[in-house]
């Protein structure tokens, strides 16, 4: 392996080791009432406050372009009510085998040429099983790192040993979302517990991998649920380095197929509140962009989102066209974060 760079933020971006700039609070003791008070502020006051925090921490004001690939699609044993990949729902997603390492790396290389600095590999697994498939995933991680991108994976629950092996392979970040509040979780997923999620997150953190953890809005949750999700994320011992905020993509065949589209104002409030609660984290405007117009996406960035997934597909659902995204960034003068590491 020629790649020996450490997993610290290689973009020179703010990360948790550095103290926050003057005037920016990093807290882990948010009360629900405080979070609600922020979330419920007049929208433009809230956005102004979030933008002020954002600019203090991220002085270069760039947006990270991440690429997402489903390396193992469908056939999942879990019952997450939002998910088109759960085997039990008839959604038109068909179950596939784990992709070959070479195919994943050729997709990664294309993503890199298109400007991605982070490559995230998703598998529709409940948990990782040791064996040849996990060995292939480790190979993919090494390959992505050798291309000079941040490597991220989302593979379901992990044991301590698996987290350690992912770290040794060079994995920068692991995505494992809490999705919603502890109170609402049981209405969305019955095949695992909130505590299972928290345990995997501890193992990821314990192995020295950076944590990517966020949620979904539009699942039928209350404002308190949204605030309690954000509060749970912020009140961990360390803020997740990355916080993806997804708007539900309502997929036919899932129990949530008839959920109304998330309103722009709700997405903006959620992102702004996440930015204020977790000032030094990358906040990702994740699923749901295809359903948003350009103005809504720009408002989300104004509210502190500094990362997005680009490319024609998320895992199984659509995403804006590459050329459309590039045109939006270009006309708005938004500069993408560039990779610092050479291959
Ligand atoms: N199976 C692993 C797990 O659940 O942790 C990894 C892949 S899973 C598809 C990754 C995340 O995608 C989920 O935690 C959820 O937050 C998000 N997601 C899945 N379906 C979605 C949908 N229809 N709309 C928005 N986000 C979704
Ligand atoms: C995250 O929070 N959102 C991404 C990424 N992490 C893995 C996944 C979104 C999936 C949307 C539904 C789909 O395309 O299947
Ligand atoms: Fe499986 Fe992950 Fe989808 Fe849940 S979100 S059904 S665990 S792929």
- Tell me the pLDDT of the chain averaged across its residues: 93
Residue 202: count of CB within 10 angstroms of its CB: 15
Which residues, judged by CB distance below 6 Å to any ligand atom, belong to the binding site of ligand 1? 82-85, 122, 124-125, 154, 156, 176-177, 179, 216, 246, 248-249, 251, 287, 315
275-285 mean pLDDT: 97
Catalytic residues: 76, 80, 83, 120, 152, 212, 284
Band (149; pLDDT cuts 50, 70, 90): very high
Residue 284 CA, closest ligand 2 atom number: 2
For 87-94, the CB contacts below 8 A with 24+ separation are 89/253, 89/254, 89/255, 90/253, 91/251, 91/252, 91/253, 91/254, 92/252, 92/253, 93/316
Between 13 and 286, the more confident residue is: 286
* Of 83, 174, 176, 315, best ligand 3 pocket probe by most atoms within 8 Å of the beta carbon: 83
CA 318 from chain centre, in angstroms, equals: 16
Ligand 3 center to residue 307 CA distance, Å? 23
* Of 83, 93, 292, best ligand 1 pocket probe by most atoms within 8 Å of the beta carbon: 83
Q: Which SS3 state, helix, strand or coil, does residue 123 take? A: strand
For the Cβ of 317 lying below 6 angstroms from any atom of ligand 2, the answer is: yes
- Cα separation, 77 vs 196, whole angstroms: 16
| pLDDT at 194 exceeding the cut of 60 | yes
For the Cβ of 311 lying below 6 angstroms from any atom of ligand 2, the answer is: no
Residue range 77-118, pLDDT digits in tens: 999 999 999 999 999 999 999 999 999 999 999 999 988 999
Instruction: Let me know: does 274 contact 304? Beta carbons within 8 Å.
Output: yes
- Cα separation, 325 vs 323, whole angstroms: 5
Band (312; pLDDT cuts 50, 70, 90): confident
Ligand 1 center to residue 154 CA distance, Å? 9
State the residue for tokens 């809504």. Answer: 296
179-193 mean pLDDT: 97
Band (22; pLDDT cuts 50, 70, 90): confident
For the Cβ of 251 lying below 6 angstroms from any atom of ligand 2, the answer is: no
For the Cβ of 287 lying below 6 angstroms from any atom of ligand 2, the answer is: yes
Q: Which SS3 state, helix, strand or coil, does residue 220 take? A: coil
Ligand 1 center to residue 44 CA distance, Å? 30
């Amino acid at each position: 392996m020629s790649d020996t760079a450490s997993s610290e933020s290689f973009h020179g971006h703010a990360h948790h080791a550095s103290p926050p700039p003057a005037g920016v609070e990093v807290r882990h003791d948010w009360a629900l009432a405080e979070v609600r008070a922020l979330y419920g502020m007049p929208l433009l006051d809230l956005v102004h406050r979030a933008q002020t925090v954002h600019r203090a921490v991220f002085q270069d004001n760039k947006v990270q372009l991440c690429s997402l690939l489903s390396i193992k699609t469908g056939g999942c044993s879990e019952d997450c009510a939002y998910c088109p990949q759960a085997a039990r729902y008839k959604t038109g997603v068909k179950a596939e085998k784990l992709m070959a390492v070479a195919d994943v790396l050729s997709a990664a290389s294309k993503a890199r040429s298109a400007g991605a600095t982070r490559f995230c590999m998703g598998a529709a697994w409940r948990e990782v099983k040791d064996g040849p498939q996990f060995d292939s995933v480790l190979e993919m991680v090494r390959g992505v790192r050798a291309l000079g991108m941040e490597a991220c994976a989302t593979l379901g629950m992990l044991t301590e040993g698996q987290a350690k092996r992912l770290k040794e392979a060079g994995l920068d970040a692991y995505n494992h979302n809490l999705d919603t509040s502890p109170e609402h979780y049981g209405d969305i997923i019955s095949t695992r517990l909130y505590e299972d999620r928290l345990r995997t997150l501890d193992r990821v953190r314990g192995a020295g991998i950076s944590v990517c953890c966020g949620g979904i809005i539009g699942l039928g949750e209350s404002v308190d649920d949204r605030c309690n999700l954000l509060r749970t994320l912020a009140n961990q011992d360390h803020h997740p380095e990355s916080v993806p905020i997804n708007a539900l993509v309502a997929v036919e065949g899932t129990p949530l197929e008839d959920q109304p589209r998330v309103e722009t104002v709700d997405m903006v409030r959620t992102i702004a509140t996440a930015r204020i609660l977790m000032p030094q984290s990358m906040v990702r405007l994740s699923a749901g962009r295809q359903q948003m117009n350009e103005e809504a996406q720009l408002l989300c960035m104004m509210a502190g989102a500094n990362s997005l997934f680009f490319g024609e597909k998320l895992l199984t659902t659509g995403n804006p066209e590459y050329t459309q995204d590039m045109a939006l960034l270009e006309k708005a003068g938004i500069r993408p974060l560039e990779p610092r590491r050479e291959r």
